[in-house]
């Protein structure tokens, strides 16, 4: 699959004088070491936010949906906005691990683990909203087609909300399995490197007795490829189905055939922005700058540019077809002249600024390779993509077909509190993950070290032999120079 020859024009993906051993050490360090003070501070903040959100959820469920800012016209607002936002964020993970695997992008190996973790934690947050926005969440199990005592009363399979149930639950399960499979060799590495008996016990359990035999690796690769092949249509279909929630309706602005691919592109756009936000911090605090390099950040910025471009074309299409349709109702949709000048003008311009204008700066190579600027742009996109969903949902609902139903939406502290709670919960999970899981797929990075590692590229370019170059004195005990290794090989 990946030959050892690589065009000299390609930049290295692992920088520094890294050997296989170094990778194990660097990846294992955060797991085997102790958390520092700043970790605890951030964790506490996240935990408090989570608990506050939990309180808001309990308050909503026990008192009633009326504690939210919804009204009779706008029955969906922050709840579904947050739901779509979180699901969208979750898409980058699967894109990185599945689609980029199919496209044989070697750079994905340093970022896929964290992206997948992000997917799973984001989908968990998303999964909360379909439940808690129900009026009677304790009857949520009725959405499942289970034989029952109401004369076997079943669900209607015509509703995209039901498709959502299947889509999200399948997505979460497949992502989890995909993620965990990839973790097996890495857990095994931590298991073998940990010295504390309790820790060793835990990672023994987690790694399912992985011993890394040839046959295991063969099947491991096959499974990864099959799962990637399945996860790719899955990732497209999940956000497609989320988009059907709107597009199947007859609400002006919602009923649009471009929604499925456009939502998927938007999901990747926002998901990559979130990956950037997290990894730019993570590479710093976990000392992984040699693995998550500037090149990785630039590549991710390019994906952001691409998907941002697709989303922009979709915006233009929506705007144009809204006009072209000649329908007077289309003048109040989220991308229309009416929206730009109406009561939600600020939301419209927030969307245009954050998703279109600011990401355009990434066309400049200097800015694309500037970590601080990337971080800012990524944050701005996260905000912008929240506004996109808010606009689609709230702006379109606020001015429907009958003017007597026109109204505005005002969130309450509970709406906001739950959203903050999910952000807190997300970071609680992510912070715990960063301390206990190997955050870089070390087994995979080791497969590209010789083709794309800076050290090996240098050796190759200077015309020396790679034989013996991987030997590390810390593991072999004795330093063997390249020449000696050649000698040994020749003797054999």
Shortest Å, Cβ 288 to other proteins: 24
Q: Which of 163, 187, 259, 387 binds other proteins (CB under 8 A)?
A: 259
Q: Which of 131, 140, 144, 313 binds other proteins (CB under 8 A)?
A: 313
**Angle 253-66-403 (CA atoms, 0-180°, nearest 5)?**
35
| Candidates 128-136, 314-322, 438-446, 471-479; binding stretch for other proteins (CB under 8 A) | 314-322
Joined together, the tokens standing for residue 278 give 């997290």
Is residue 170 at the binding interface for other proteins, with CB under 8 A as the rule?
Answer: no
Nearer to other proteins, 175 or 333 (CB): 333
**Angle 314-315-321 (CA atoms, 0-180°, nearest 5)?**
85
| Candidates 49-57, 58-66, 85-93, 308-316; binding stretch for other proteins (CB under 8 A) | 308-316
Question: What x/- string results for residues 8 through 47 when contact with other proteins is judged by CB under 8 A?
Answer: xxx-------------------------------------
Is residue 164 at the binding interface for other proteins, with CB under 8 A as the rule?
Answer: no
| Candidates 130-138, 249-257, 399-407, 433-441; binding stretch for other proteins (CB under 8 A) | 249-257
Q: How far apart are CA 147 and CA 230, in angstroms?
A: 29
| Candidates 2-10, 419-427, 436-444, 456-464; binding stretch for other proteins (CB under 8 A) | 2-10
Is residue 249 at the binding interface for other proteins, with CB under 8 A as the rule?
Answer: yes
> Hey, which residues between 326 and 345 contact other proteins (CB under 8 A)?
326
Shortest Å, Cβ 221 to other proteins: 12
| Candidates 207-215, 240-248, 275-283, 407-415; binding stretch for other proteins (CB under 8 A) | 240-248
Is residue 233 at the binding interface for other proteins, with CB under 8 A as the rule?
Answer: yes
Is residue 236 at the binding interface for other proteins, with CB under 8 A as the rule?
Answer: yes
Shortest Å, Cβ 325 to other proteins: 5
- The number of residues that bind other proteins (CB under 8 A) is 36
Q: How far apart are CA 143 and CA 154, in angstroms?
A: 8
Is residue 369 at the binding interface for other proteins, with CB under 8 A as the rule?
Answer: no
Is residue 109 at the binding interface for other proteins, with CB under 8 A as the rule?
Answer: no
Shortest Å, Cβ 313 to other proteins: 5
Bridge partners for 453 per DSSP: 14
Nearer to other proteins, 85 or 329 (CB): 329
Shortest Å, Cβ 329 to other proteins: 11
Is residue 250 at the binding interface for other proteins, with CB under 8 A as the rule?
Answer: yes
Using only the alpha carbons of the chain, give its radius of gyration. 25
Shortest Å, Cβ 146 to other proteins: 26
Is residue 255 at the binding interface for other proteins, with CB under 8 A as the rule?
Answer: yes
Q: CA dist 386 to 81, 239, 242, 435, 477, Å?
A: 7, 15, 15, 29, 54
Q: How far apart are CA 177 and CA 164, in angstroms?
A: 20
Is residue 1 at the binding interface for other proteins, with CB under 8 A as the rule?
Answer: yes
Nearest to 255 by CA among 354, 341, 359, 334: 334
Is residue 65 at the binding interface for other proteins, with CB under 8 A as the rule?
Answer: no
Nearer to other proteins, 9 or 195 (CB): 9
Q: Which of 247, 351, 377, 434 binds other proteins (CB under 8 A)?
A: 247
Residue reference for tokens 């705007």 = 319
- Binding residues (CB under 8 A) for other proteins: these are 1, 3, 5-10, 103, 233, 236, 240, 244, 247-250, 255-261, 309-310, 313-314, 316-318, 320-321, 324-326
């Amino acid at each position: 699959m990946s030959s050892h020859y690589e065009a000299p024009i390609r930049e290295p993906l692992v920088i520094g004088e890294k050997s296989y051993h170094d990778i194990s050490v660097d990846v294992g360090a955060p797991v085997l070491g102790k958390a520092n003070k700043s970790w605890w501070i951030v964790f506490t903040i996240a935990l408090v936010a989570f608990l506050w959100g939990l309180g808001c959820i309990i308050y909503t469920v026990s008192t009633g949906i009326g504690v939210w800012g919804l009204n009779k016209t706008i029955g969906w607002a922050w709840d579904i906005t947050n739901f779509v936002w979180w699901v969208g964020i979750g898409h980058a993970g699967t894109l990185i691990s599945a689609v980029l695997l199919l496209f044989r992008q070697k750079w994905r190996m340093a970022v896929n683990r964290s992206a997948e973790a992000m997917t799973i934690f984001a989908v968990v947050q998303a999964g909360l909203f379909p439940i808690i926005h129900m009026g009677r969440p304790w009857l949520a199990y009725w959405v499942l087609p289970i034989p029952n005592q109401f004369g076997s009363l079943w669900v209607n399979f015509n509703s995209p909300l039901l498709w959502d149930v299947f889509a999200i639950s399948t997505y979460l399960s497949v992502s989890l399995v995909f993620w965990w499979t990839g973790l097996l060799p890495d857990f095994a590495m931590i298991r073998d490197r940990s010295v504390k008996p309790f820790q060793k016990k835990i990672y023994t359990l987690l790694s399912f007795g992985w011993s890394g035999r040839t046959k295991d690796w063969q099947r491991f690769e096959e499974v990864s490829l099959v799962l990637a092949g399945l996860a790719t249509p899955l990732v497209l279909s999940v956000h497609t189905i989320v988009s059907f929630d709107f597009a199947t309706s007859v609400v002006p602005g919602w009923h649009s055939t471009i929604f499925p691919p456009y939502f998927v592109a938007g999901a990747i756009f926002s998901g990559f922005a979130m990956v950037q936000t997290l990894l730019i911090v993570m590479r710093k605090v976990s000392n992984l700058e040699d693995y998550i390099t500037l090149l990785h950040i630039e590549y991710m910025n390019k994906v952001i540019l691409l998907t941002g471009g697709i989303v922009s074309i979709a915006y233009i299409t929506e705007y144009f077809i809204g006009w072209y349709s000649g329908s007077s109702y289309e003048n109040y949709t989220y991308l229309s002249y009416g929206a730009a000048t109406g009561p939600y003008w600020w939301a419209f311009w927030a969307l245009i600024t954050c998703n279109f204008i600011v990401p355009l700066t990434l066309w400049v190579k200097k800015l694309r390779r500037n970590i601080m600027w990337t971080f800012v742009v990524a944050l701005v996109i996260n905000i912008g993509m929240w506004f996109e969903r808010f606009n689609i949902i709230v702006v379109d609902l606020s001015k429907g077909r009958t003017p007597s139903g026109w109204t505005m939406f005002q969130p309450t502290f509970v709406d906001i509190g739950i959203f903050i709670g999910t952000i807190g919960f997300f970071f609680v999970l992510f912070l715990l993950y960063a301390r206990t899981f190997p955050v870089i797929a070390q087994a995979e990075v080791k497969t590209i070290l010789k083709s794309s590692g800076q050290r090996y590229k240098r050796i190759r370019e200077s015309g020396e032999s790679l034989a013996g170059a991987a030997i590390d004195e810390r593991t072999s005990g004795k330093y063997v120079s390249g020449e000696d290794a050649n000698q040994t090989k020749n003797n054999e």
